[in-house]
């Protein structure tokens, strides 16, 4: 589809002015959650933000402890770890919110996590409820996509998208929920139309999503560095997200510096922690089955494992309340 039908320049300028005003207001507004303000500040910084993906409270805590400034919560990984099922729309809004709440509870109040909100779990009104629920669960940001239900995982087959009108309405509703509640949650608008239709359609939708108020943009499964650069030229000034799918996806794997030079503001690593966990668990199970015990070099000490889940802090707190 042609880019000639993209939203008009006057509309784009007006929407950007409103979005910029919201961002300026959020800097001093007490109603905006502190982690949402942190994420907004990170996205405005000149350095790209590396954000590995968590799938439970422990992985979220480990990401923060490793020194990263932000994280995502991956729908693929939550569906896999909680249900042992594929990311094909089988996991529910309630299950995602429940896992998200534990991820946010396990990290500091200022550590921003972006939650995968899939297609908003229904129509525009459902999308508004999803944004509000994610904000209440402690998320600093939410990713809303334009797929039909049931959604399909990125970089896989059978992806289809809703109409332009429905897609932009969904994103607008998400932005309205952000503004009406004053949470300041960062709305990442995602399009899967690069795979479902073509690149021109994906770029048109990215521009349209910026026009209706999206704080950041993501086009999934871009197929070359040239396509990635073309995406970064859409809606100048609106942060762009990259996704480095580990193990063989459609998008070229780039270094953080390469992505920063292209114009990306944030990059997600969706499968790293889940993938290495699966490898490690399968290896340990083989060793137990064949040798009777997992190899010592693959195991943390018991003391280190206790530290990872917070025993030292628990004991210190417990000591305060001893009679």
> Looking at the predicted structure, is the pLDDT value of residue 56 above 50?
yes
> Looking at the predicted structure, is the pLDDT value of residue 25 above 80?
no
Characterise 51 by phi-psi region: left (phi > 0), alpha (psi -120 to 50), beta (else).
beta
> Looking at the predicted structure, is the pLDDT value of residue 212 above 70?
yes
219 with 290, same domain: the answer is no
> Looking at the predicted structure, is the pLDDT value of residue 29 above 70?
no
Residue 211, in any domain of the structure: yes
Match 């910029």 to its residue by tokens: 20
Residue 92, in any domain of the structure: yes
Nearest Cα neighbor of 222 from 207, 242, 237 is: 242
217 with 69, same domain: the answer is yes
Binning pLDDT at 50, 70 and 90, where does residue 154 land? low
266 with 293, same domain: the answer is no
CA 63 – CA 269 distance, rounded (Å): 11
Q: pLDDT by residue (tens digit) across 57-111?
A: 999 999 999 999 999 999 999 999 999 999 999 999 999 999 999 999 999 999 9
CATH number for the domain harbouring residue 143: 3.20.20.60
pLDDT of residue 27: 45
Binning pLDDT at 50, 70 and 90, where does residue 159 land? confident
Binning pLDDT at 50, 70 and 90, where does residue 2 land? very low
The model carries a pTM of: 0.89
116 with 147, same domain: the answer is yes
Residue 216, in any domain of the structure: yes
User: Residue 284's domain spans which residues?
Assistant: 279-320
CA 130 – CA 135 distance, rounded (Å): 9
Residue 121, in any domain of the structure: yes
Q: pLDDT by residue (tens digit) across 239-290?
A: 999 999 998 789 999 999 999 999 999 999 999 999 999 999 999 999 999 9
Q: Which residue has the higher pLDDT, 8 or 194?
A: 194
pLDDT of residue 155: 56
Residues 6+ apart with CB under 8 A from 125: 173
Residue 3, in any domain of the structure: no
pLDDT of residue 115: 98
pLDDT of residue 157: 65
142 with 171, same domain: the answer is yes
Total structural domains in the chain? 2
Contact 36, 112 (CB under 8 A): yes
CA 293 – CA 259 distance, rounded (Å): 43
266 with 153, same domain: the answer is yes
241 with 304, same domain: the answer is no
């Amino acid at each position: 589809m042609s880019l000639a039908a993209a939203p008009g320049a006057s509309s784009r300028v007006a929407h950007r002015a409103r979005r910029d005003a919201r961002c300026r207001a959020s800097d001093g507004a007490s109603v905006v959650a502190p982690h949402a303000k942190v994420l907004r500040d990170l996205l405005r910084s000149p350095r790209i933000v590396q954000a590995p993906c968590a799938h439970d409270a422990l992985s979220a805590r480990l990401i923060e402890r490793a020194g990263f400034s932000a994280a995502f919560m991956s729908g693929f990984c939550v569906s896999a770890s909680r249900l042992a099922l594929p990311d094909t729309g089988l996991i529910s809004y309630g299950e995602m919110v429940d896992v998200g709440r534990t991820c946010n509870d396990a990290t500091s109040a200022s550590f921003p996590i972006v939650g995968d909100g899939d297609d908003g779990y229904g129509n525009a009104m459902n999308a508004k409820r999803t944004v509000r629920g994610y904000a209440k669960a402690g998320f600093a940001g939410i990713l809303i996509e334009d797929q039909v239900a049931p959604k399909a995982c990125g970089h896989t087959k059978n992806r289809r998208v809703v109409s332009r009108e429905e897609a932009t309405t969904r994103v607008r509703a998400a932005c309205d929920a952000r503004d009406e509640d004053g949470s300041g949650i960062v709305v990442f608008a995602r399009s899967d139309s690069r795979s479902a239709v073509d690149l021109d359609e994906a770029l048109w939708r990215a521009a349209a999503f910026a026009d209706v108020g999206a704080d950041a943009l993501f086009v999934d499964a871009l197929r070359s560095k040239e396509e990635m650069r073309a995406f970064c030229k859409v809606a100048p000034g609106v942060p762009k997200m990259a996704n480095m799918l580990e193990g063989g996806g459609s998008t070229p794997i780039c270094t953080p510096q390469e992505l920063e030079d292209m114009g990306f503001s944030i990059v997600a690593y969706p499968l790293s922690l889940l993938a290495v966990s699966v490898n490690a668990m399968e290896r340990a199970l083989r060793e137990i089955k064949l040798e009777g015990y997992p190899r010592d070099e693959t195991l943390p000490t018991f003391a280190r494992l206790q530290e990872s889940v917070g025993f030292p802090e628990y004991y210190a707190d417990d000591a305060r309340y001893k009679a």
